């Protein structure tokens, strides 16, 4: 017998920001711990395939998924403690990320302002270790709470045990984000009381000036959040108007020797040296140099305003997305000998 929360042959078209037509054989919207326990037990009994769907902003859904899609909708956020250096805030996995960031700023807690307006859910943030404008979320996470759906057990892992790296975490390293094993139920954030602005990213200072902030030294967290939101709005299309999944490729990281050879051949190529000596390249710049910015392939294309963003101009399916991603990656590989890796995940 199916748990009350389960639906069959569910339409997922409205649950992914690329607006791809997709259906799931089984679907459950989970908004309580009891729901998670009941549906998780059913999944273990039946050994069905699982996929965890958060805000749907970082996925490429196939036309049909023959297993169980779990939509995380657990809500709640609260201050749970503080010490001399920080406040500790706990947010449930189904909290929409932009709303959560805005709430922390409204309470006077800085730290997450550079990550404002990123689509998605709190539960997805540590898995991807989302980052933008000089900040990664892993820097501000104290712990992550999750359920192992394969074992039916609950766990709490510290920031160190999450093994955060560029767009990476232990959850991705072990493949748990792809096989639907882990459901992040809550994240605890450590937000510093001695707040310091992160203003190193190009464009933030100019945007602050446009918003009437004359001196960077006087900018507060909410002003920076408004500047970041304005920058995102200029660069990235609104998924409600032009469906997309945000940045579609990771910025590739290459060995120093390879980067030096590229710099000699392409002096204008942006390069950012990493702590381990390797060099991060700008995927958007690489894509633009191969002529894909603003170019289409069938119903999909790379956005004219930002070459890193793949957009659905209408009627696209997952096969169209894969074809374009493959073509772009091929051309970048041929010209620069650099591999591009897709950022959104697929069930």
DSSP letters spanning 90-153: EEETTSBHHHHHHHHHHTT--S-GGGTT--SBTTHHHHHT-EETTEEGGGGEEEEEEEETTTTE
Interacting residues of 192 by C-beta distance below 8 A, sequence separation 6+: 85, 86, 110, 111
| C-alpha closest to that of 258 among 277, 283, 284 | 277
Q: Is 167 a catalytic residue?
A: yes
Q: Where are the beta strands (DSSP E) in 73-140?
A: 77-82, 86-92, 131-132, 135-136
3-state secondary structure of 226: helix
Residue 282 structure tokens: 């700008």
Task: Kindly state the DSSP code that residue 346 receives in the 8-state scheme.
Answer: -
Dist. CA 50–CA 32, nearest whole Å:
18
- Evaluate whether 149 touches 182 at the Cβ level (below 8 Å): yes
| 102 part of the active site | no
Is the Cα torsion angle 181, 10, 91, 201 positive or negative in sign? positive
| Catalytic, out of 113, 136, 145, 343 | 343
Q: Which of 121, 169, 247, 318 is catalytic?
A: 247
Q: Which two tokens stand for residue 278?
A: 């390797």
The one catalytic residue in 159, 167, 261, 322 is 167
Select from 247, 235, 274, 269 the least CA-distant residue to 342: 247
Report, as residue numbers or ranges, the catalytic residues.
167, 247, 343
């Amino acid at each position: 017998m199916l748990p009350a929360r389960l639906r069959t042959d569910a339409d997922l078209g409205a649950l992914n920001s690329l607006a791809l037509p997709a259906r799931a054989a089984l679907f459950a919207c989970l908004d309580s711990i009891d729901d998670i326990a009941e549906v998780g037990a059913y999944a273990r009994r039946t050994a069905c395939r699982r996929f965890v769907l958060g805000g749907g902003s970082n996925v490429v859904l196939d036309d049909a998924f023959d297993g169980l899609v779990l939509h995380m909708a657990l809500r709640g956020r609260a201050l749970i403690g503080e010490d001399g250096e920080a406040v500790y805030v706990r947010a449930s996995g189904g909290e929409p990320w932009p709303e959560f960031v805005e709430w922390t700023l409204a309470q006077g807690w800085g730290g997450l302002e550079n990550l404002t307006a990123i689509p998605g859910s709190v539960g997805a943030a540590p898995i991807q270790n989302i980052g933008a404008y000089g900040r990664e979320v892993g820097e501000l996470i104290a712990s992550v709470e999750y359920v192992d759906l394969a074992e039916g057990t609950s766990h709490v892992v510290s920031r160190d045990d999450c093994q955060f790296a560029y767009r990476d975490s232990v959850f991705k390293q072990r493949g748990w984000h792809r096989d639907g094993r882990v459901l992040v139920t809550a994240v605890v954030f450590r937000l510093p009381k001695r707040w310091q602005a992160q203003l190193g990213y190009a464009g933030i200072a100019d945007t602050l000036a446009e918003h009437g902030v004359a001196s960077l030294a006087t900018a507060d967290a909410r002003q920076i959040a408004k500047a970041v939101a304005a920058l995102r709005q200029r660069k990235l299309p609104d998924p409600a108007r032009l469906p997309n999944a945000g940045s579609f490729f990771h910025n590739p990281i290459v060995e120093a020797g390879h980067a030096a050879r590229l710099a000699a051949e392409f002096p204008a190529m942006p390069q950012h040296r990493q702590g381990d000596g390797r060099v991060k390249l700008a995927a958007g710049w690489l894509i633009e140099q191969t002529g894909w910015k603003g170019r289409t392939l069938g119903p999909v294309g790379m956005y004219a305003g930002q070459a890193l963003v793949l957009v659905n101009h209408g009627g696209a399916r997952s096969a169209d997305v894969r074809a374009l991603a493959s073509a772009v990656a091929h051309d970048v590989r041929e010209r620069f000998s650099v591999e591009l890796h897709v950022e959104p995940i697929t069930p």
